[in-house]
Amino acid sequence: MNRVYRDAWGIPHLRAGDPYELAFAQGRVTALDRAWQIEVERRRATGTSAAILGPDAVPWDRFARQARLADTAERCLHALDDDTARWVNAYVDGVNAGLPEGARRAPEFTTTEAARSEAARPEAARPEAGIAPGRWEPWTPMAIWLSHHILFAHFPAKLWREAVAERLGPEAVALFAADGPGTAGSNGWLVPADRTATGAALIAGDPHRFIEDPGFYQQIRLACPEFDVVGLAVPGVPGIAHFGHAGSVAWAITNAMADYQDLYRERLRCADGRVEALGPDGWRPCTAHVEVVEVAGEATVEVEVVETERGPVVMADARVPGEIGHGRVWEAVSLRYPPRVRRDLGFAALPALLLAKTVADVDRALDRWAEPVNVVLAADTDGGLLHRVAGTVPVRHPDNALRVVPAWEPGHEWGDRHAPMPRREIRGITVMANERGIAAPLGAEFAPPYRADRIRRLLDGSPRWSAGDMAAVHTDTLLPSAGPLLDLLAGTDGLGPEAVRLRDRLSAWDRRMDAGSTDAAAYAAVRAEVVRRLAAHPALASLAGLDAGVPEVFRPWLAPAPRVAYALESVLTTGLLPGLDRAALTELAGAALEDVAARGETSGVSWGDLHRLAPWRALPSPAISSPVDNAGSGDGAGSGDGAAPAEAGLPGDHDCVLSTSSVPGVTHHCARGPAARYVWDLARRDGSLWIVPFGASGVPGDPHRRDQHPLWLRGELVPVITDWNRLTMDPADRGAT
């Protein structure tokens, strides 16, 4: 028999007789608390989300089918060791046991907006009301994990780099070698025992992802005789993979920004009724079939699924003029990624992490980690410390990491070798923030060093730190990356009086992106205008339209304005682009100042008025969405489209430690930011702190759906409670294995 307890924030604390009962309990409570969320994730992982979400979901479903996500997950399940497979199966059994009740609690299954997706079904095939949740297969958690992380290594950036090299020259590629608009990152830091008030280590940080409602992370506690771990789980996936505290040991990760997925330019032809691909050894047969994607309220869509010896075809390309050999020939792009090649998603690491008691145990568990590649920090109560990279990176030709490589040329194949995972001895405060640090040998594009440098500077500013002090680091709003643009603006002359006042105002600005700052709003307005002008400049004109004709899933990596926005420092300081020397840039910046000043858009407007949270919701609806949480930073609901209604105003910016990212030149709204914050205290686990956007429950109307959100907006944290006497048993959630 397993038991579910709740703390004051509705966070589930699970207790069971063994790890398998506990996995069942975790699956069941997830189905009860997050039924609609995990139904959507199951459908996204299997390429069936358009059946309930409508035509906007077709591009993702097409990609999921073409990339063979579900098939890869099934292959990985069959390759699992027996104990891990049993553990995953127990979780799936729990999900299936809890879904009927979870669906009854979740109004999304029965709202008109959701039920419309069933209109195309024959009457006899429809559920009595709304949508019935689908049954989970044993491989479903693995498919969800893969769906979440398939774009983590930002392979679409290779399409961008190839286009830049062709149009602007190879030397221009380095201009844009920064984390782009489609990447996900994190902050993390470890304060060793000699720098803390308690004499035991602290680990803290915040993962940066697209903000989803309900949240991406699930606060949870998993306890049985073998282990007792609190942490942040991923709904739909068993265990606690990324951020956990087991009492005697704690761990946390950030995205390593490694490159481990390759794109191949394929030449395909139809010959004798089958599809063939040209490889180094000539024409070879492909697998090919057609799948049908159901679309709510519209006709079905056929998707051709082709796989070469390199991998699944994920993008069609221009037809090759004429014929090669015999038969019609065309070009396409295939994707090669380690889980499909090795049949391993690293799930064997998940139960091993739960069993860890020391950093040595964590280290051994992470030797089995595969996807995605992460930088890890860990500490234990015996003084053990760990700083390493974990994951699988194939050793291959250097060009594979930079661009799309020709499938028919020898030298780009994968062998059996994998890169060794770097590790470093910890000597003092250690920071991980997606910068070109410990993982530098494994990647091509990294985040600028601003966040990492600022965190180190903040932590070096005090001789002793406690868990409660960490919120000040989490919420730091200094924007060091503003320097190059401000320097450029300071050199402008010949301006009108309003533009001069704006320039001088920005020169005196403290460079903090506080929600209430009108100067921060003025800077953002000028930055956006500079980005728009740069993206439209003749020097970059050849990059216009790159995102046309490519799958929608890849377009964020190929749109010029976001790319210019995230690489603004390089564009302004390197002088690598003909026609954009210092004089031309200064003239452009002056024109931007004049335009912003003339529009009067900076008068009385704060950064929080512009920089509003725009979370992703699978099914936005007035009947489901809650009103704005006004936490004193903004004046209520802002404008936004149906997919991402804007909520409360936020402090921070992309390169702040408080990394709340907008896309300058496109929108001030924030879609990506801290998906959680945590502080793991090794002196006393109950001294640890955490917070998530929204709340522990995914059920609209539940008191814990949004009770943490005002605190998250203000940068506050709530205590981790592990004393069973301070928890309340939830009779409604009690379930037997």
Contact 666, 614 (CB under 8 A): no
Count Cβ atoms below 10 Å from residue 173 Cβ, excluding itself: 20
Residue 514 annotated as binding site: no
The crossing angle, in degrees rounded to 10, of helices 69-78 and 140-149 is 130
**Alpha-carbon distances, residue 287 vs 76, 306, 327, 339 (angstroms):** 19, 6, 17, 18
**Alpha-carbon distances, residue 543 vs 183, 530, 548, 573 (angstroms):** 20, 17, 11, 20
Whole-angstrom distance, CA of residue 222 vs CA of residue 229: 5
Indicate the pairing of strand 262-271 with strand 405-406: parallel
Question: What's 79's DSSP letter?
Answer: T
For residue 645, whether the previous peptide bond is cis, meaning omega lies within 30 degrees of 0, is: no
Contact 527, 625 (CB under 8 A): no
161: three-class secondary structure by DSSP: helix
- Buried b / exposed e along 397-436 (16+ C-beta atoms within 10 A): eeebbbbbbbbbeeebbbeeebbebbeeebeebbbbbbbb
**Catalytic residue flag (residue 517):** no
Q: Report residue 384 CA to chain centroid gap.
A: 30
- Buried b / exposed e along 640-660 (16+ C-beta atoms within 10 A): beeebbbbbbbbbbbbbbbbb
- Buried b / exposed e along 275-306 (16+ C-beta atoms within 10 A): bbbbbeeebeebebeeeebbbbeeeebebebb
**Alpha-carbon distances, residue 91 vs 104, 240, 346, 718 (angstroms):** 20, 13, 17, 28
The CA angle 716-602-655, to the nearest 5 degrees, is 45
Phi and psi at 420, nearest 5°, equal -65, 145
Phi and psi at 635, nearest 5°, equal -120, 25
Distance in Å from the first CA to the final CA of the chain: 6
Catalytic residue among 49, 117, 147, 186: 186
599 HSE (CA, 13 A, CB side): 12
Residue 213 annotated as binding site: no
DSSP lists the bridge partners of residue 690 as 678, 718
DSSP lists the bridge partners of residue 284 as 277
Q: Who contacts 637 (Cβ-Cβ below 8 Å, separation ≥6)? A: 627, 628, 645, 646, 647
Residue 331's H or E segment, with its range, is strand 328-336
Residues annotated as part of the active site: 186
List, as residue ranges, the binding site for Ca(2+): 259, 262
